[in-house]
Amino acid sequence: MKSIEQIAAELQGYDPQAISAERVNDFLSRLVTPITATEDIGVFDALGRVLARDVISPISVPPHDNSAMDGFAFDSAQLRTAEPLRLRVVGTAFAGKGWPGRLADGECLKIMTGAIMPAGLDTVVPLEFVKQEGDTIALPAGVVSAGDNRRLLGEDIMAGQPALRQGQTLGPAALGLLASLGLPTVNVFRRIRVAYFSTGDEILSLGDAPREGAVYDSNRYTVFGMLTRLGVDVVDLGVVPDKPAQLEAAFRDAAAKADAIITSGGVSMGEADHTKAMMKQLGDVAFWRIAMRPGRPMAVGRIVEGGRSAVLFGLPGNPVAVMVTFLAFVRPALQRLMGGVASEPVLLQARSAEALRKKPGRTEYQRGIVSRAADGSLSVRTTGNQGSGVLSSMVQANGLIVLHHNQGNVAVGDAVDVMMFDGAI
């Protein structure tokens, strides 16, 4: 486990007062040590979990050559002439049953999708391609070639081959694949636990009466939502007022219970509060000004309590900045902590429907609404007011327009990258 000082020394030109978004991820990948504890769980419980070791297939899928269609199976050696081929139907092969015996020249077998290809037969002509007269079929020339409509043993997965790799997050397709291998359980890393709390004297909890100058806490709810989507266990430690004793108790409680701690608020430059001081006192923490918008101030490090170490993410207070810094930095870092691979955000390109002002030298994340233009291309417009406290912009948006570090002003019609909020699965 490296200290903040050691990591800082590894990074050339590291400047905590002007750190780029890319550099932040590099720093965090050195800070986070993946967990090692694993458990065996049932496949239905494994959605979103991270594989702790490669899964080697104990069987071949499919286990036999089989038919991909309902039709007639025959030996393609008979496909010789340009004439229609006439074959006598001598039986039926159903899915799930073998068909014993062999066929002679001039014979074929009615076969159902998924049925084992009987010995000596290599081709299936679909039902709809043939004319049936009594117990014979006429197969027009040219409708099938040798090997058509036959699925090969092991064409999905061959016995002894790796089917899934360690570090892979299990999605719906992977669950199905595990089941197709006949595996009732799978070895995954244990779930990580993430504790979070909001800080600030002006922050109201739900149920508190409104009062002048105070705002209701929204950060715990967006953080809860994003953590839950990530598949971690959450520990909600509420709103902590700007009092040293209460902050200390919250940090110690969080570090004792969790693998990572997420706070919001109290890390900006002009803060007259105790959050930063308490982070400094209890942990090994770096305080950054990140070259980005929104979300400039952020603290990261580690807090140790009772022999346990928790990674700390001290996010800014502004609600949009919390979500953006989570998506850009915390999410990939937590994926590593979970034993997985940080997923590169899938960026799609869209044409900007408006001119965007952008200064090179910082990364900007604008809330975007992507839609399909009349000519079929993707177009993106902003949600309007890009203030870092305008949480409704995150609700209206379906993605973040990512204006990269070196990028300058965007003209109408220019292509921009968008990090979409939703994937298909």
Could you list the residues that contact ligand AMP (CB under 6 A)?
A: 198, 200, 202-203, 215, 217-219, 264-266, 268, 271, 316-319
264 binds, among ligand AMP, Mg ion, none (CB under 5 to 8 A by kind): ligand AMP
Least Cβ distance, residue 416 to ligand AMP (angstroms): 27
316 binds, among Mg ion, ligand AMP, none (CB under 5 to 8 A by kind): ligand AMP
Can residue 200 be called a binding residue for Mg ion (CB under 5 A)? yes
Element holding 124 (H helix, E strand): strand 123-126
Residues in the chain: 425
| 26 versus 271: smaller Cβ distance to ligand AMP | 271
Match 């996010």 to its residue by tokens: 315
Q: Which is nearer to ligand AMP, 130 or 279 (CB)?
A: 279
Measured from the CB of residue 151, what is the shortest distance to ligand AMP in angstroms? 55
Helix axes 244-257, 275-282, angle to 10 degrees: 50
- The contacts of residue 291 (CB under 8 Å, 6+ apart) are 18, 19, 20, 21, 361, 362, 363, 405
Q: Residue from 118, 154, 167, 265 that binds Mg ion (CB under 5 A)?
A: 265
Cβ proximity to ligand AMP: between 54 and 271 the closer is 271
- 301 — alpha (psi -120 to 50), left (phi > 0) or beta? left
Cis before 319 (ω within 30): no
Residue among 264 and 382 whose Cβ is closer to ligand AMP: 264
| From the list Mg ion, ligand AMP, none, partner contacted by residue 383 (C-beta under 5 to 8 A by kind) | none
For residue 62, cis peptide bond before it (omega within 30 degrees of 0): yes
Specify the residue, 177 or 390, whose C-beta has the smaller distance to ligand AMP.
390
Partner in contact with 67, chosen from ligand AMP, Mg ion, none, beta carbon below 5 to 8 Å by kind: none
**Binding string, 266-285, against Mg ion, x = CB under 5 A?**
x-------------------
Say which residue the tokens 């900006």 belong to.
Answer: 268
Cβ 125 vs Cβ 144: under 8 Å = yes
Q: In what order do the strands lie in the sheet with 233-240?
A: 233-240, 193-199, 260-264, 308-315, 297-305, 283-289
Instruction: Considering the complex, state which of residue 219 and residue 383 has its C-beta at the smaller distance from ligand AMP.
Output: 219
Q: Closest separation between CB of residue 266 and Mg ion, Å?
A: 5
> Which residue number is nearest to ligand AMP in terms of Cβ?
317
Query: Beta-carbon neighbour count of residue 164 at 10 Å?
Result: 20
What minimum distance in Å lies between the beta carbon of 288 and ligand AMP?
13
Residue 393 interacting partner from Mg ion, ligand AMP, none (CB closer than 5 to 8 Å by kind): none
Alpha helices in 165-259 (DSSP H): 172-180, 219-230, 244-257
Residues in touch with Mg ion (CB under 5 A): 200, 265-266
